[in-house]
Chains A and B, each alone.
Chain A
């Protein structure tokens, strides 16, 4: 199995020999992969296969879990993300994350979008309105919410909340968007709209999506990685992986024989 693909775009994230343990449990085994800029990469696999764990390595969210231990290297634009010279805060500014359940802060719509920008001191008070407007535009919420910027974000529909969470990331101008099953709390129509948004965001951002929905991976991604029991079984262009899987386990999974 080859981790490197031959697309013309430069790699943004490179993963070499990545291993992760939760206590004694070996959750990720010798992961190798390369993620191309401005492409959507999907990670699929059955529950518990390590796909969310892998995603959370990219912005070091696993640091919050005390028992987690990591070996190997993850390079962001050629630099190790655990380089002590790169502050964690800077890494997370460049690599943002969208969660399974929409989790807007219990603040106003405006404050939600402005949060990251404030934290990173990206704008003076006057520039903030502009950042908020631009970010809400980017996720297609501006026209619906422009008169409700002062309302609580908790009053929005789930789909709007998830879009708002994406707008909150876009506001800090990251390079990579990590999405951990971003549609699993949404109904099919909302899912379709968020998928459309993901495809649109691809023009500017490198996106990594974890999903347990194979059809979704096929619809939105350019590359797909299949994880099984902590191993990257197969990684490659989405079309090839789904039509012509090289590993029998991949074939078994995508044809629905287990999972």
Chain B
């Protein structure tokens, strides 16, 4: 029997260790980011880094102002959110309330398949199909714009938003639906006046997680947004995002140089943004469950 007890102990410790390891990993990654990134603030003050309007990392002297990149990320993400949120909520309503039987299953599977498309493939389609369309439609010198990135990213955010919103809608008690219908509400009134408000916190969480995915996306935006590090004035201009900057420039930097640590500092900024978005999403999800 002692053998069995020892075995239990070992298994328990292994499980505990793997549980703890994920936290350790996150802490280590964050520590590494800080170690590599904070050095840049010896040459550039934090204020100039965040609010500087010029990103000229290899000029002499170099300028490390990430405001254009922040704006680029915000524009592409904002555009993607504007496009994907209404579409996703409508799809989720369709799946949970309107579609029946095989149509429902087909839609659900379709949305899940969407999540399985690698972002580089979407980027490729964007470059060959979407970019020429946008160039012609708006008579632009190039089709690689913030809008092109937004549209493609909207499709990437959709699976996340749709499936979590659908969960939130399905979790709304049947009694609410019956009560609304029994009062003579039409299906549309039932959905907009009862279901959506009842599922509101879950929907907010879904949107946050979708936006989180979009902010961190790199490959497709690098292929589609034109990568011009200037502060954009419209969706139809080329922009460059935080993620694309790291991906594009990391290979050319000397390890330990200011440019190198500036890229890591961008990583810290991205980490902070994603972390706060996930935190907000978590708070909202928690609120749903607490109810």
Contacts and interface: CB of A to CB of B under 8 A. Distances in A.
A105 B176 contact: yes
B193 A103 contact: no
Contacts of B185: 89, 115-116, 119
Contacts of A103: 173, 175-176, 178-179
B183 interface: yes
B197 A119 contact: no
A115 B193 contact: yes
Contacts of B189: 119
Contacts of B179: 99, 103-105, 165, 168
A105 B198 contact: yes
21 contacts: A59-B182, A61-B182, A64-B181, A66-B100, A88-B184, A89-B184, A89-B185, A92-B181, A92-B182, A92-B183, A96-B183, A97-B182, A103-B173, A104-B179, A105-B176, A105-B180, A105-B198, A106-B198, A119-B183, A120-B184, A168-B179
Interface in B195-232: 197-198
A92 B181 CA distance: 8
Interface of B: 100, 173, 175-176, 178-186, 189, 193-194, 197-198, 291
Interface string A48-63: 0000000000010100
A107 interface: yes
A100 to B, nearest CB: 9
Interface string A81-117: 0000000111111001101010111110000000110
Nearest to B195: A105
Contact of B175 (A66, A88, A101): A101
A119 B100 CA distance: 26
A37 interface: no
Contacts of A168: 179, 183
Residue of A104, A105, A172 most packed against chain B (CB within 10 A): A105
A28 interface: no
A169 interface: yes
B interface, over-half SS: helix
Q: Which interface class (under 10, 10 to 19, 20 to 34, 35 or more) fits A?
A: 20 to 34
A interface, over-half SS: helix
Given A119-B185, A169-B183, 12 more contacts: A61-B181, A61-B182, A89-B184, A92-B183, A99-B175, A99-B178, A99-B179, A105-B179, A105-B198, A106-B197, A115-B180, A172-B184
A125 to B, nearest CB: 16
A120 B198 CA distance: 21
A93 B197 contact: no
Contacts of A104: 179
Contacts of A120: 184
Given A105-B194, A106-B198, A107-B197, A119 B184 contact: yes
A19 B178 CA distance: 23
Contacts of A96: 182-183
A103 B194 CA distance: 12
Given A105-B194, A105-B198, A119-B193, A172 B176 contact: no
A68 B120 CA distance: 49
B198 to A, nearest CB: 5
Contacts of A115: 180, 183, 185, 193-194
A106 B291 contact: yes
B96 to A, nearest CB: 15
Nearest to A97: B182
A165 B186 CA distance: 18
Nearest to B190: A119
A84 B189 CA distance: 21
B141 to A, nearest CB: 52
Contacts of B181: 61, 64, 92
Contacts of B173: 103
Contacts of A92: 181-184
B178 A61 contact: yes
Given A115-B193, A119-B193, A106 B176 contact: yes
B213 to A, nearest CB: 28
A119 B186 CA distance: 8
A66 B104 CA distance: 15
B202 to A, nearest CB: 12
Contacts of A66: 100
Interface string A139-174: 000000000000000100000000001001100100
Sort A-B residue pairs by CB-CB distance and give the 9 closest, nearest first.
Answer: A103-B175, A92-B184, A97-B182, A93-B184, A116-B183, A89-B184, A119-B185, A103-B179, A106-B198
